[in-house]
């Protein structure tokens, strides 16, 4: 039997789903702020989503999983209905969906209002976008500024700015996010344009499926070549697929000749995609090739802040600092860290602080980097600040020594797994309150002095490097 209380139902279903789905996917599609579940009897349940796009998506991708999960919660089969809920008060990022919803509503004479609209037609079959991947939600920094600016200008004047636009960079740095942001923006400005956004794998699979039959191949070509905006994600998947490369070459030419916008992304620049035919390498470089780099420390902090605030659980500054210091190369992992820390704190009903963050991320961080020890921290602090280890441990209150000591204690706290007691001992047998005071003092200064923060970051980098 299903719990009749909506919160209990949601908690049980979501807990089960989170263990069955990859974390990113779960986060993207099972946000309690965006969808909700209600039991409509002991063995029937409704999933309310915001628009037809989403309804289609859940219908196609999650019906089976949801039914399985519901059955396990209810310990018996459950009927699931997926309904569109015409809710007010949307996030600006969801205007696109709102528009889709309006389109669907004008087509559908059913009276508007909550849950009245059955899931039938979709304005854009096949175009499934993550509603969070918008320009509004994209944090811009030095590492992605060019890619972001190019994506914006392409979205504003498709076919006119750069054609093709080719974004590349390693995994988890926001390429897919930017591609989908372009789609959202174009749809917002001109919902009539025929946009095709596909992973390269889908392109290849569609092509292979259609190759079997002349008629289907014609249809595939006609479809691809009638496109106004073509976005292919992870185009490096064309590597080693000669037939698909050949087909893509013709698609590309037709669209490019007709000034239709093409946007591609890949894990490497065109010339480094193995076995990519020269004529494609050349074409991919005709427009603008923009690289997305790993984010700088400041951008990582800004992203963490944005993600934590978007969840409604802002973290203290030093927690952002700690995570940004330890997770450097992948924005997806930064996001994962925010979720882990928030979930861990909420499960244990503890406030989010450095200890919680450290515990929540222990496993993730151990793999990420070799452990830093207190002597590692002390060695670099001494070298950079011109003091001796013995001075750090001494009773001296000379300004330069106390300052170095405070910094050492703070970095030991954020960079090692040592407890405050261990740290106190390693800094000349200082007690808990002295250690806390040092940490708070540094934290405080980081909060209002960006150059001090950069200085500490440089020290932290130095300490990490000393481990390589
Ligand atoms: P890629 O396609 O390059 O592997 P994604 O676009 O899938 O990376 O990004 C991974 C995750 O990080 C996504 O959830 C995305 O929203 C997030 N992300 C990436 N870059 C940014 C950014 N600049 N601002 C906010 N979120 C970002
Ligand atoms: Mg991607």
Write out the DSSP string of 6-67: HHHHHHHHHHHHHHHS-HHHHHHH--TTT-EEEE-STTEEEEEESSHHHHHHHHHHTHHHHH
Q: Tell me: pLDDT of 412 over 70.
A: yes
- Domain 6-94: give its CATH superfamily: DnaA, N-terminal domain (3.30.300.180)
pLDDT confidence band for 88 (50 / 70 / 90): very low
pLDDT confidence band for 122 (50 / 70 / 90): very low
- Where do you find CATH 3.30.300.180 in the chain? 6-94
Q: Which ligand is nearest to the CA of 305?
A: 1
pLDDT of residue 21: 85
pLDDT of residue 105: 37
Atom 13 of ligand 1: nearest residue by CA position: 332
What does pLDDT average to over the chain?
86
Expressed in angstroms and rounded, the spacing between residue 333 Cα and the centre of ligand 1 is 10
Expressed in angstroms and rounded, the spacing between residue 141 Cα and the centre of ligand 2 is 19
Phi, psi of 164 (to 5 degrees): -80, 165
pLDDT, greater one: 238 or 42: 238
**Radius of gyration, alpha carbons of the chain:** 26
- Where do you find CATH 1.10.8.60 in the chain? 297-368
Other Cβ atoms within 10 Å of 348 Cβ, number: 11
Class of domain 297-368: mainly alpha
Token pair 């860290």 in the structure block, residue: 337
Across 208-232, average pLDDT:
92
Expressed in angstroms and rounded, the spacing between residue 331 Cα and the centre of ligand 1 is 6
Angstrom distances, CA of residue 441 to CA of 123, 381, 436, 445: 56, 17, 9, 6
Helix (H, G, I), strand (E, B) or coil at 270: helix
Contacts of 109 (CB under 8 A, 6+ apart): none
Task: Please name every residue paired with 288 in a beta bridge, in sequence order, or none if there are none.
Answer: 165
Q: Tell me: pLDDT of 97 over 80.
A: no
Highest mean pLDDT among 27-41, 203-217, 398-412: 398-412
At 349-399, the pLDDT tens digits run: 999 999 999 999 987 776 555 678 999 999 999 999 999 999 999 999 999
Cα end-to-end distance, the chain, whole Å: 56
Q: Tell me: pLDDT of 116 over 50.
A: no
Expressed in angstroms and rounded, the spacing between residue 171 Cα and the centre of ligand 2 is 7
Expressed in angstroms and rounded, the spacing between residue 183 Cα and the centre of ligand 2 is 14
Q: How far apart are CA 58 and CA 67, in angstroms?
A: 11
Q: Tell me: pLDDT of 99 over 80.
A: no
pLDDT confidence band for 410 (50 / 70 / 90): very high
Mutate to test the pocket of ligand 1, among 29, 174, 324 (most ligand atoms within 8 A of CB): 174
Which atom of ligand 1 is nearest the CA belonging to 234?
2
- Where do you find CATH 1.10.1750.10 in the chain? 374-465
pLDDT of residue 124: 58
Helix (H, G, I), strand (E, B) or coil at 261: strand
Q: Which ligand is nearest to the CA of 233?
A: 2
Across 453-462, average pLDDT:
87
Other Cβ atoms within 10 Å of 376 Cβ, number: 20
Atom 5 of ligand 1: nearest residue by CA position: 174
Mutate to test the pocket of ligand 1, among 31, 137, 176, 177 (most ligand atoms within 8 A of CB): 177
Atom 19 of ligand 1: nearest residue by CA position: 174
- The proportion of the chain whose per-residue pLDDT surpasses 70, expressed as a percent, equals 88
Highest mean pLDDT among 178-182, 372-376, 430-434: 178-182
Q: Which ligand is nearest to the CA of 234?
A: 2
Q: How far apart are CA 416 and CA 20, in angstroms?
A: 33
- Where do you find CATH 3.40.50.300 in the chain? 145-291
Contacts of 16 (CB under 8 A, 6+ apart): 69, 72, 73
Mutate to test the pocket of ligand 1, among 23, 332, 337 (most ligand atoms within 8 A of CB): 332
Q: Tell me: pLDDT of 123 over 90.
A: no
Which atom of ligand 1 is nearest the CA belonging to 144?
23
Q: Which ligand is nearest to the CA of 236?
A: 2
At 288-336, the pLDDT tens digits run: 999 999 999 999 999 999 999 999 999 999 999 999 988 988 999 999 9
Q: Tell me: pLDDT of 110 over 50.
A: no
Residue among 287, 99, 276, 320 nearest 193 (CA): 99
Q: What letter would DSSP give residue 332?
A: H
Report whether 251 contacts 193 (CB < 8 A): no
Other Cβ atoms within 10 Å of 422 Cβ, number: 14
Q: Tell me: pLDDT of 119 over 50.
A: no
Which atom of ligand 1 is nearest the CA belonging to 130?
16
374-465 in CATH: which number?
A: 1.10.1750.10
Q: How far apart are CA 370 and CA 360, in angstroms?
A: 18
Q: How far apart are CA 219 and CA 222, in angstroms?
A: 5
What is the CATH architecture assignment of 145-291? Answer: 3-Layer(aba) Sandwich (3.40)
How do the residues of the chain divide into helix, strand and coil, expressed in percent and rounded to 5?
60, 10, 35
Measured from CB, residues less than 6 Å from any atom of ligand 1 are: 133, 137-139, 144, 171-177, 303, 331-332, 335
Contacts of 197 (CB under 8 A, 6+ apart): 127, 129, 179, 180, 183, 231, 233
Atom 26 of ligand 1: nearest residue by CA position: 138
pLDDT confidence band for 183 (50 / 70 / 90): very high
């Amino acid at each position: 039997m299903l719990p009749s209380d909506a919160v209990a139902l949601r908690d049980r279903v979501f807990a089960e789903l989170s263990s069955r789905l990859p974390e990113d996917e779960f986060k993207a599609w099972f946000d309690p702020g965006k969808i909700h579940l209600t039991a409509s009897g002991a063995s029937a349940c409704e999933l309310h989503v915001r628009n037809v796009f989403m309804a289609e998506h859940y219908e196609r991708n999650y019906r089976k999983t949801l039914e399985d999960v519901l059955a396990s919660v209810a310990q018996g089969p459950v009927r699931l209905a997926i309904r569109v809920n015409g809710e007010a008060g949307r996030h600006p990022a969801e205007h696109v969906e709102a528009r889709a919803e309006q389109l669907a509503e004008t087509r559908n004479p059913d009276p508007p209002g909550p849950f009245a609209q059955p899931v039938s037609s979709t304005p854009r079959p096949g175009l499934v976008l993550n509603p969070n991947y918008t320009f509004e939600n994209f944090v811009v920094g030095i590492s992605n500024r060019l890619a972001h600016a190019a994506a914006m200008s392409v979205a504003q004047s498709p076919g006119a700015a750069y054609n093709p636009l080719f974004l590349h960079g390693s995994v988890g740095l926001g390429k897919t996010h930017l591609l989908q942001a372009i789609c959202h923006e174009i749809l917002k400005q001109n919902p009539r344009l025929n946009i095709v956004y596909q992973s390269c794998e889908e392109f290849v699979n569609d092509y292979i499926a259609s190759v079997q039959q002349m008629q289907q191949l014609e249809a595939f070509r006609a479809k691809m070549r009638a496109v106004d905006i073509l976005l292919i994600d992870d185009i490096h998947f064309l590597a080693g697929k000669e037939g698909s490369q050949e087909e893509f070459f013709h698609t590309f030419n037709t669209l490019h000749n007709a000034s239709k916008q093409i946007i591609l992304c890949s894990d490497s620049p065109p010339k480094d995609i193995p076995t990519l035919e020269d004529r494609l390498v050349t074409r991919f470089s005709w427009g603008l090739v923009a690289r997305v780099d790993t984010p700088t420390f400041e951008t990582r902090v800004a992203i963490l802040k944005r993600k934590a605030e978007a969840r409604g659980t802002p973290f203290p500054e030093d927690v952002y600092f700690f995570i940004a210091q330890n997770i450097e190369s992948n924005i997806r992992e930064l996001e994962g860290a925010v979720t882990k820390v928030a979930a861990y704190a909420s499960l244990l009903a503890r406030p989010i602080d450095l200890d919680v963050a450290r515990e929540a991320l222990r496993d993730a961080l151990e793999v990420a980097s070799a452990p830093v020890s207190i002597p590692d921290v002390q060695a670099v602090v001494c070298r950079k600040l011109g003091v001796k280890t013995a001075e750090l441990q001494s009773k001296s209150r000379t300004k330069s020594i106390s300052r170095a000591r405070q910094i050492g204690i703070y970095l030991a706290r954020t960079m090692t797994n040592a407890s405050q007691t261990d740290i106190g001992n390693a800094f000349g047998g200082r007690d808990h309150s002295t250690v806390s005071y040092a940490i708070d003092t540094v934290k405080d200064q980081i909060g209002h002095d960006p150059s001090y923060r950069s200085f500490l970051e440089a020290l932290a980098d130095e300490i990490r490097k000393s481990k390589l």
